[in-house]
Amino acid sequence: MPKQAESTPGTPSAQSAATPVEWRISAGLVDYPTALAEMEARAAAIHTGTAPEQVWLLEHPALYTAGTSAKPEDLLLPDALPVYRAGRGGQLTYHGPRQRIGYVMLDLRARGGDLRRYVGGLEDWIIRTLARFGVKGERREGRIGIWVAINGREDKIAALGVRVRHGITFHGIAINRDPNLQHFEGIVPCGIKESAGQPFGVTSLAKLGKAVTPAELDAALQATFGEVFG
């Protein structure tokens, strides 16, 4: 799983344990460095008990992010798009318009402190969200993200990357609603090339014939989040 942990979780704050998760939805495109700075600030505030947990839904301009395990050779077109060091676990991924990002800032100390279970929860969240639109998302052993099997091939429809600092999670998930899939050709997404000679691709809800609006996807994400994380 793509994850990066820093320090051992300590005592949960009373506020994070008792206050409902706050939802933030941004219109337009949010600059990546701005989003990263705001995520880190919110995670710090959750740690000190001065802000509630938050899920932030947004979209970025077209760009690549490099996780802590990113390999230079997996950046196939270095000059195609801006590249940002993300600080999360994982390798290279693409973000861009019409791809929904869910940044998740939760107090893992108040939720049992189990990082593996948390990552599994993010996967469940994606799978349940896709199911609301008639898409069967699946895990694959040894492959990061959520996959769709159609006509004998498997394509990735969602990615996830996690960082934990002082027991607070940040970064999160990305679901391909209707992004420009050609931009994925500039990288080896998450370092995954092929297995047993089978190449893997990238897909989206739109490519699967699902016309989903941002509002519909956001509503599904909010509803299924509660099913998984309470």
Whole-number Å distance between alpha carbons of 4 and 68: 8
Q: Which amino acid is at 28?
A: G
Q: Which long-range contacts (CB under 8 A, 24 or more apart) does 78-86 make?
A: 80/183, 80/186, 81/183, 81/186, 82/32, 84/32, 84/33, 84/36, 86/36, 86/161, 86/171
- 68, 78, 95, 131, 177 from 92: Cα distances, Å: 9, 12, 10, 26, 19
Given the DSSP bridges, would you call strands 99-105 and 168-176 parallel, antiparallel or unpaired? antiparallel
Task: Identify the bridge partners of residue 23 per DSSP, sorted by sequence position.
Answer: 55
CB 81 within 8 A of CB 164: no
Tally of CB atoms within 10 A around 91: 23
Are 85 and 4 in contact, with CB atoms under 8 Å apart? no
- For residue 188, what are its two tokens? 């080896």
Is 142 assigned a catalytic role? no
Q: Which of the residues 190, 202, 205, 220 is marked catalytic? A: 190
Report the catalytic residues. Answer: 190
